[in-house]
Amino acid sequence: MRILFINSIQMFGGGEVWMLRTLRALQERGHQVWLCCRPGTELAKRAVAQGVPVKLLAFRGDFDPITIARLAWFMKQERIEVVLTNMDKELRLGGIAAKIAGVQAVIPRRGIDYPLKNRWRYRLAYNVLATRVIANSEATKQALLLKAPWLDPKRIEVIYNGIDMQPFLQPSGGCLRTEWSIPQEAPLLGFVGQLDKRKGIEVLLEAFDRIYRQIPQVRLALVGRGPLQGMIESEVRRKNWGDAILLPGFIDDVIDVMQAIDILLLPSLWEGFGIVLIEAMAAGKPAISTNTSSMPEIIVDGQTGYLVPPGDAEMVANRAIALLQNPELRGQFGRAGRERVIELFTIERMIDQLENLFQGEKF
């Protein structure tokens, strides 16, 4: 198939990681793929580096005729068969362009559980321009329908994010514990993601304070960047945590991180999907997260990790302490988590579902 992904986002986050992984996996199965994105973005740079053909476009207004004309010309020139969009803006631009170019399958993917607005432009985009809709979880599907009684639930296909399991099953290529000067016997908690409010960073620090008072040798690695880094550094100084908190910044190879930690903590107030939970489970590590968004579809509470109410630092701490004090239970959760990833969250399963959807919508 000849497939075009469209992404106008200027930042690089989970949705962009998903797009690159998916494009590469589709390429490996013999499909011809393209990515249309803004020039100068991290997404564009990484796509080129990974061998994904890129069409650079300076996206303008929602119904900008120049943007639509350029997209339509490109689709017709490359004989595009399937268009997948990332945001509503891209659906409006790319959907109209696809109609002009004669592309039969236009499929927006929703990666976050925001409701659709009951407005004409959303009705037009999802009922006229889109042939089907992908939701990354049942939670996202239900959120889509919350304020959109005009959208047929049967047109929404739930396809979970998938990861390549094999690298997580191999011995770690590097040892982050040594690099971070963490003794092998010291328990290491991990967080991976943007250092911002929605990730529950304040909750995480409050929980760590409780854990640290009971297990003073514990360490916490906050892997990522974000606007709350200054606040975290200030809190480390105020609480005299010293080297108990690590801020290594963004790390490209998340596999090394997951293999180094004992437990992943993700106390998000809301989430798009929480793919880091799957990555921790693939590495055989238990995760503690919140019972909101798609997290209950990933973690089985009390079997592969724990789910707590958003904002409940005390319960995050209690669950973490219980796991740190019980290596056997950590191992049990880790094994169950890995089995769950193999069952539901592999990239092979995800690409199979996408291929079936794309092929069905083409005709």
Question: Do 301 and 291 form a contact (C-beta atoms < 8 A)?
Answer: yes
150, 171: one domain:
no
Q: Give exposure, 78-88, as e/b (b: 16+ Cβ within 10 Å).
A: eebbbbbbbbb
| pLDDT surpasses 70 at 361 | no
**191 shares a domain with 51:** no
List Cβ neighbours of 270 (8 Å cut-off, separation of 6 or more). 113, 198, 292, 293, 310
Q: Tally the domains of the chain.
A: 2
Which H or E run includes 322?
A: helix 313-324
What is the C-alpha separation between 215 and 338, in angstroms, rounded?
27
pLDDT value of residue 272: 81
Do residues 42 and 68 share a domain?
Answer: yes
Token digits for 211?
Answer: 């854990």
Residue 5 has pLDDT above 70, yes or no: yes
CB 62 within 8 A of CB 92: yes
Together in a domain, 38 and 19: yes
Distance CA 209, CA 212 (A): 5
Q: Is the pLDDT of residue 363 over 50?
A: no
Q: Is 63 helix (H, G, I), strand (E, B) or coil?
A: coil
The alpha-helical segments, DSSP class H, found in 147-269 are 166-169, 176-179, 201-214, 229-239, 254-260
Contacts of 203 (CB under 8 A, 6+ apart): 267, 269, 310, 311, 312, 313, 316
pLDDT digits (tens, 9 = 90+) for 12-71: 877 888 999 999 999 999 999 999 999 999 999 999 999 999 999 998 887 889 999 999
Residues 142 and 182 placed together within one structural domain of the fold: no
**Residue 113 pLDDT more than 70?**
yes
First to last CA, the chain: 12
Same domain membership, residue 233 and residue 99: no
Residue 90 has which token pair? Answer: 């891209």
| Cα–Cα distance for residue pair 44/57, rounded to 1 Å | 10
- pTM value is 0.90
Is the same domain home to 87 and 175?
no
Q: Give pLDDT, residue 174.
A: 56
Confidence (pLDDT) at 189: 98
Mean per-residue pLDDT of the chain: 93
Section 317-325 average pLDDT? 97
User: What percent of the chain stands above pLDDT 90?
Assistant: 79
pLDDT at res. 114: 79
Domain match, 210 and 313 both = yes
**CA-angle at 78, arms to 98 and 103, nearest 5°:** 25
| Mean pLDDT value across residues 230-238 | 95
If phi over 0 gives left and psi between -120 and 50 gives alpha, with beta otherwise, what is residue 193?
left
Check residue 169 and give its pLDDT. 85
Measured CA to CA in angstroms, residue 199 lies from 36, 97, 175, 266, 267 at distances of: 29, 36, 26, 7, 6
Within this chain, do residues 18 and 139 fall inside the same structural domain, yes or no? yes
Side-chain half-sphere CA neighbours of 303 within 13 A: 11
- Asked if pLDDT for residue 89 goes beyond 50, the answer is yes
Same domain, 151 and 6: yes
Domain that holds residue 102: 2-162+346-362
pLDDT interval class at 173 (50, 70, 90): low
pLDDT, tens digit (0-9, with 9 covering 90-100), for 240-252: 999 999 999 988 8
Specify whether 266 is located in the same domain as 302: yes
The CATH number of whichever domain residue 231 belongs to comes to 3.40.50.2000
Same domain, 213 and 67: no
Which pLDDT score is estimated for 4? 97
